[in-house]
Amino acid sequence: SRNQPARPAAPATPTLVTQPPDEAVMGAREAARAAASLEELKAILDGFEGCALKRTASRLVFADGNPAAKVMFVGEAPGRDEDQQGLPFVGRSGKLLDLMLASIGLDRTSAYIANVIPWRPPGNRTPTPQETAVCLPFIARQIELADPDILVCLGGPSAQALLGTTEGITRLRGRFMDYDTGTRTIRAIATFHPAYLLRTPLGKRFAWRDMLAVEALLAGKGGG
């Protein structure tokens, strides 16, 4: 009726509209596919706006080590030290990873190191499933372009994201699986994340076994 107050006007559409989740993932897939080299992929990630983590992180943490190496290690996400330096695994976890590499004769000149998520989540919180889904096409393309012979997933979240499993790391670790890069199938193995080993030293003997399995495969033995 005439006496009813007029309805308030609809709020104006904000100028910065967050992409719907499925659109962000599709955009990530298209952007990742466009990269013909690791340098191009890094540049594309630098300009990608489909993941909110980019706006809270200090910088992109793309990779460290030798992209021509036969073995690639992938963790979950950068922490504070990594965010400050722009390199993966440079804090306490990084020092332990260096020791793990050294135990089988590797270092950062003979291994390639990255994370599923290239931006630090605020306060080191766990990445959301949506954040992981948006970043997954980029790390998949990074693995494809680096083309290692062996992929080592550091920790449960990395293994679950890359190997498409819901199994926990305790059950997953230590056995080789196939990972399809899109252009070839490579051998993949999961082991405990160095941050977990710092908290749970008892896990080190299992991680040591996993590293020996990687060493045997690199030498042309094992991998069954």
Closest CA to 22 of 111, 158, 137, 178: 137
**Separation of alpha carbons 70 and 104, rounded Å:** 13
For the segment 73-119, what is each residue's pLDDT rounded down to a tens digit? 999 999 999 999 999 999 999 999 999 999 999 999 999 999 999 99
Q: What is the pLDDT of residues 197-207, one digit of tens each?
A: 999 999 999 99
CATH code where residue 103 lies: 3.40.470.10
* CA 78 vs CA 29, 87, 162, 209: distances in Å: 22, 8, 17, 25
Which portions of the chain are predicted below pLDDT 50? 1-2, 10-17
Would you state the pLDDT for residue 222?
Answer: 65
**What pLDDT is stored for residue 18 in this prediction?**
55
Backbone angles phi, psi at 167, to 5 degrees: -65, 145
- The DSSP string of 72-129 is EEEES---HHHHHHTSSS-SHHHHHHHHHHHTTT--TTS-EEEESS-SPPGGGPPPPH
* Residue 11, pLDDT score: 46
The pLDDT of residue 88? 98
Q: With the CA atoms of 62, 65, 69 and 70 taken in that order, what torsion angle do they form, in degrees rounded to the nearest 10? A: -80
- At residue 166, the pLDDT reads 93
Q: Is residue 158 part of a domain?
A: yes
Task: Say if residues 179 and 195 touch (Cβ distance below 8 Å).
Answer: no
Split into its structural domains, the chain has a count of 1
| Distances, alpha carbon 127 to alpha carbons 25, 117, 133, 192, 210, in Å | 15, 8, 10, 18, 26
Task: Note the pLDDT of residue 117.
Answer: 98
**Is 7 part of a structural domain of the chain?**
no
pLDDT of residue 89: 97
Q: How is residue 48 written in tokens?
A: 């990608």
Full-model pTM: 0.89
Alpha helices, H only, the chain: 21-33, 38-47, 53-56, 80-85, 92-102, 129-146, 156-163, 169-172, 194-199, 204-218
Where in the sequence is the domain holding 134, given as residue range(s)?
Answer: 21-218
Q: How far apart are CA 73 and CA 105, in angstroms?
A: 15
Nearest alpha carbon to residue 155 among 186, 106, 189: 189
Is 64 inside any structural domain? yes
Instruction: Estimate to the nearest angstrom the gap between the alpha carbon of 6 and the chain centroid.
Output: 52
Would 8 be classed as within a structural domain? no
25 domain residue, yes or no? yes
Q: What is the pLDDT of residue 68?
A: 97
The per-residue pLDDT for 113 is 98
End-to-end CA distance of the chain: 78
1, part of any domain: no
In angstroms, rounded to a whole number, what is the distance separating the alpha carbons of residues 165 and 103? 28
Say what the pLDDT of residue 13 is: 41
Question: Would residue 186 count as lying in a domain?
Answer: yes
Q: For residue 150, is it within any domain? A: yes
